Amino acid sequence: MAWIPFADERRTRYEEQHGELDERSLVRKGNTAYAAGLALLMAGDPEAAEWLRRAAARWRESWQGNESWGRPIGALKASLLAGDDDAVDELARWTLELGTATAESPIGRYAAALALLALERWPEARHVAESLRERDDFPHDVADALATIAAHDLLGYIEAIESVVASFETREDYLEDAAVADTALVLDLLARRRGLPGELPASPLLPARSPG
């Protein structure tokens, strides 16, 4: 993948504005900015953080309730990938204030698990993650990764994250065609916060490892 041309095309699209920025327009801008940020991350370009922050801001701005849980999830993931600790803290607290931890939807609880892990509230995160493990309508490997991070279970986490990466490699559709295993990258960052050592498996959907 030629990541810089891909990012340039998404950045150009982001700057295009057609009429008033309503809820849907803000979501589209968030999607486009996120794709640009992921592409730049894959290319090792430091501008990735700026575009990931833009994605987080647009998704947060688009929130109008109605349990659109993908937006706080996206904003939190983008801020984690941008390395914006202040935004991560604020967004994680906001996500929990929305009632995600007790949501009926597994996507709502996923948002809560990410937020609790980001805030290093390990016992609460484990409780929410374990509830996701019991669901048939949520990816089991992602639930396993969340739970094993919270439990500081290195062997369980390694098995789960390898499965998450493999699942991305079998996909045919990606947000804005950005073929990046972003969930694996986010889980890796949360695992590091928990003090779990290790590296992500090599994959064309992950940034190249630095030599040495």
Q: How confident is the model at residue 20 (pLDDT cuts 50, 70, 90)?
A: confident
Q: What is the CATH number of domain 3-193?
A: 1.25.40
Match 């007790």 to its residue by tokens: 102
DSSP 14-71: HH---SS--HHHHHHHHHHHHHHHHHHHHHT-TTHHHHHHHHHHHHHHH--STT-THH
What separation, in Å, do the N-terminal and C-terminal C-alpha atoms of the chain show? 24
Per-residue pLDDT of 148-167, as tens digits, reads 999 999 999 999 999 999 99
Do 154 and 45 touch, CB atoms closer than 8 A? no
Per-residue pLDDT of 102-112, as tens digits, reads 999 999 999 99
Give the per-residue pLDDT at 68: 92
CA–CA dist 185, 31 (Å, integer): 17
Nearest to 44 by CA among 79, 17, 7: 7
pLDDT at 212 over 50: no
- Backbone CA torsion sign across 129, 135, 137, 139: positive
Q: How confident is the model at residue 100 (pLDDT cuts 50, 70, 90)?
A: very high
CA–CA dist 197, 35 (Å, integer): 28
Do 115 and 103 touch, CB atoms closer than 8 A? no
